[in-house]
Structure 1
Amino acid sequence: MAKKVEVPQFPRTAAAAAERKADLQEKGPSMTGTEPLAHGAALRLALELGRLGSWERDLVTNEVTATPICKAHLGLSPDEPLTYETLKKLQHPGDIERINQAVTYALATRSDFNIEHRIVRPDGRIGRILVRGTPILEAGRPVRLVGVTQDITERERAKEELQDSKRRQDYLLKLNHQLQGFKDPFAIMEATAQSIGQLLKVDSVGYGEVDTGRGVVLVEREWSRGAISNEGRAYRLQEFLHGMIDDSKEGQILTIDDIATDPRTGSPELQNFYSTINARAVLTVPLLKEGRIAAILYAISSAPRAWSDDDVALVEDVARRSWTAVERLRAERSLHETEFRFRRFTEALPGFAWIATPELELIYYVNEQHWFEFSGLSREQTLGHGWLSIVHPEDLARIMEDAKNATEDVLEAEMRYRAIDGTYHWHLVRVGSLYGPDGDFRGKIGTSINIHRLKETEAALRQSEERLALAQRAARIGVFDWDVANGAITWMPEQERLFEIAPDSFEGTYEGWSSRVHPADVQAFEQNFREAVARRDQELSFFYRIPLQDGSFRHVEGSMVIFYGQNGSPSRIIGVNIDVTKHKQADERQQLLIRELHHRVKNTLATVQAIVGSTARTASSIDEFYQGFVGRIVSLARTHNLLTEDLWQKAALSDLIQTELGPYEDEARNRIVIDGPHVELPSEAAVPIGMAIHELTTNAAKHGALSTFGGQVEVRWRIEPGAERPLLHFAWTEKGGPRVSPPTRQGFGSRLLQRVLATQLQADVAMNFPEEGLRFTMTMPLPGEIPIFNAEK
């Protein structure tokens, strides 16, 4: 067992802690400077954009601070305290030694450390984080650790899923290869059952053929890990599918994670049935044929098992593949038998069938009338070598050579016969060897099928598939086909709709396109086209504008594939045109959003600067400054969150109040009473009012009604008509808390409530301090309508 490594603990005496605190206080004034604030804001923004959390641990006091993002990586809420002891508890027991080794080495060598490890979040979920840190030295001695965290849980999960997917894909590829080599359907069943059982580590896997008439399942083949096997046994279908036959007929897969607790298998009969086959968890895939259950593939576990979606998908995929292979082999066997009978049968029936000597001299054929109507040859003209006179000369030489060198009993080829009208029609000719009773070779027996229409359809289909493939390559929108040799251009319906012209009204010429496009864009296209052809480029992208009737433009992105002839000139061009007008508009909206964001950021930074200055002037210690500053910034952030939900237009007064007082609500004691009509405040009013409510809440939690068990806070407001604008009457009343007396000095909160609200919002503010609790009232005119910022314009 490896030796346990402990992270070095530096002296934590009261003197050392006091010295550390004094050092921080001595450096505290520098925190109010503008330059460090700007650097800190930039760093914070960079970390937030990269979703990196930052942390710091004082090696003297073991105090730990972390950003909200860092806490989120650990599974903690932003307001949840984080101590060194809490941090150690969150670390996975299996990784603690590695973590300690990394930190110890970094402190000993004065170097950075970088480690990935697991965490056990408070809700029990396992996560993975990447921790990077470095020691901070003072007088050559490390005094604290600082660093960043990155949540890599999803990345590691994706890796595992990718590995599982690859393993399953490899399994399916191997299985497909195996299935191709089998000639026996039951061999496929056996191999498939064994491979699934070993891959999923279950106790048995089997195939059951379903006889719906008798209502039974016959287990044809089964792989079993133990000595008990169900192979060859018959069970009632109702037992295997227990009341879900109708669902199975629709192809629904049946999964039972625990037969003992699943309500569908609660009857004693079913419990007894599954006990006899040693099943505690079951996965069953119905295999359908013509809308009925033809077979099932099942996997059985003797212990409870939670079947994952991957398990179900894999078993379903394998079941379908293997059953298709089984059905294919059975069909092939049946087909071989049918073909054999059919060949013998056609010898005695009229039809396009014939018998010839080894030298292909025709001695017998059937369906004489049909042959005459097609070829115009009489029986006398056909027998012997006469039938060869209507075979296309190119095909005749090939067929004669193939027949002479044929090493198989059956020869299949395509050849052309001349019809009575002089045209040649393609036929599929199938020739087999004819043997006598003693096995001696007697000649050839064959059939001919007219496949001329099929060949024409195949040729047309190939051309259609070619155009379709090229159109798909270029997004299948606004497809055009340009025959450069004769100048003809074909537009698909989508292309005409792009130009807002009637269907089939396009002139089919280059001028028909250029006359509808902005002249400057036509000139640019022609220049780019000439340069592309000079370079023998096979692809060309271009952009142009289509003037519309309302005076606007439709922006189009085009792409074409150029085919060159033997002389090196373009012979054919296939391409597409895609309407990108919305993308252009989106780019413009984005620029507008960026300008608006710059404006909002400047205002926010100005607000933060004012908070820093005011808090620093009223704070008596660094800790008081920190607590006050962080609380006000958090309040500002909450207000901004409400504003950003409405594109920085407005926030509801009730939402501002609920955001601050929500954590203190207790329905049993009615600690919080909030009453008032819906009022929406623009951002200019929402920010100061939100901070004022934060100050009132903080004061109530520290010194007022919310600091005791039975305290209550009532917040009420109403709207009344005013001389010019409606008036908002707002009242904050506390009771049930400690006895109240007027404050001896005025802090940031008092100045915010009495000065800022009056200055910025023209509010009449009053603060009274009766013994039963603080009463704060405010009357202000509601701001008028502000210009609406619409990102869609």
Structure 2
Amino acid sequence: MGQAQRRQEFLLKLNDQLSNIDDQYEIMEIAARNVSELLKVDTAGYGEVYQDRGVIIVEREWSWGLITNEGKVEKIDQQASPIIELLKRGQPAIINDVRTDPRLDDPALQAFYSTINARSGFAVPIHKNGRFIAEFYVYSSVPRDWTSDEIALVEDVAERTWLAIEKVRAETKLRETEARFKLIAESLPALVWIVKPNLELTYTNERWVTYSGLPPEGALGHSWTAAIHPDDWARMTEELKPVMANEIPYTTEVRYRSAEGEYRWHIIRAAPVHNAATGEFNGWVGTSVDIHNLKLTEAALRISEERLSLAQRAAGIGVFDWDVPAGKVTWTAEQERLFGLEKGTFGEDFSSWEARVLPKDLEPANRTIAEALARHDPEINLAYRIRRPDGNIRTIDTTALFFYDDKGAPLRMVGVNIDITRYKDAEHRQNLLIRELHHRVKNTLATVQAIVGSTARTASSIDEFYQGFVGRIVSLARTHNLLTEDLWQKAALEELVKTELGPYEDEARNRITIEGPHLELPSEAAVPIGMAIHELTTNAAKHGALSTFGGQVEVRWRVEPGEERPMLHFSWVEHGGPRVSTPTRQGFGTRLLQRVLATQLQADVSMNFIEEGLHFSMQMPIPTEPPTFNPDT
């Protein structure tokens, strides 16, 4: 058998021995032992070079018939520089005799080789990507001339050894990586999975099997798509088209059906996976995290927020949150509505609020806030006026809480604003009403006092006084009733007339005639005119047209333009009653009709006592409405 054939058989045998080994150190041991036995050398070994550390580490070495497994570290500078330089250049370093080799004449090198009992030997380098990464070496205790075949054989063995070791290391690293991945995948509180580019499920953790109720053998493939809610799958199908086309990350939320038939919300996060060496797209790795409870909480929170927003809108409550250090303010939509603003247009700083407060109210409001902060007050309440963009002025009431840090510096002011304009207006109207009521009561008492005095002066007996006084007070009360129905503002002339004459109308409704436009009289005119109508009615009932069955009363009025104010033309005509004659004395009624109306209302009064009946007429400027209480402002 020739040398080449023996070499080939040796390499084939070595390949067979190394092919099924998954331990890198055992590979080193087998290679070193086989080379040592074939070349009949004392030592053979495989060492890895760590240039950054300046060492060669030998984990396994066959020496003198034994394998050393403790590993040894040799410093590169312990070996001759020419030897190392050859190996770095990718050339074998051959020593036929240590003692005669001029490259090793350094006593330190002689001592080194003597220590390892090496008289001759050689080393072949392994280079990858231009770097010296390992060597395979043999030593003999006697001088020896190494042949080119021996050197070529060791070079083959070195290459095969490195390939086998790298393969085992890669497989070991892969197994460790997979083990770590599975450990992480099984410990995560989520569904962990890997899918191919066609979405075929190739791996899933045990959590998916438990959740879905699918058997382990049926959990892979495309079965996972059937567990997605149909509505979500229809949406997801469209979402995945660009994701699959562009091999990009993907996030979405879907509902998975559980083993119990319940659909629970999950958030999917998927990342594309590419082959590190080739760049080939391999699919996606991802997780599906159960967010069902979060979804329910979000839905409940959303409903709660909607309720709160509706309640705030119904109550007209705006909410704000002022980040004091940052000077930023957050406003709710209702807050902006209170200020007459569109949503999102209030502004984000404190000055946005200041710009809308009336200048007269801004300084006191800012001072109140500053003083409360200086005192570290927990809360504050203040009121101020704002001007809306449309010019409308509103009164705002603010109630807020303050939050401070450990050193007492203000952090936040959170509060609510309420539009209290109508309450302020009501308070203003109430104050006006009280003042007006005071004024009216004084006037009424003065009127009553005048009635008492005038009635007493014209009455001839207590009974006559009583009858006259009571009738006039009742008339005054009726007029007051009409006025109080309009909050003491106005009374209709028609109502004053009907109130007095109504009881005297017959069933045929042809005894009383009332004609005239609708006319609202201010209270200053309504009281004396009402009293005058009462006196006319009382006189007609006692002595005039209303004292007999066929008597009639015609009351008419009209309004005509005047020089300064409109003029009221009022007439009272009686007929069908007893014959009338001019009275011999002037009573309260006559004085009221002729003097009070003329004095208080600047009226021109005419009274004609003709035989057919009394003719009374009055022309007067209609009083302007006084600036008193108005419920509509």
Larger radius of gyration: 2
Normalising by structure 1, we get a TM-score of 0.39
Normalising by structure 2, we get a TM-score of 0.48
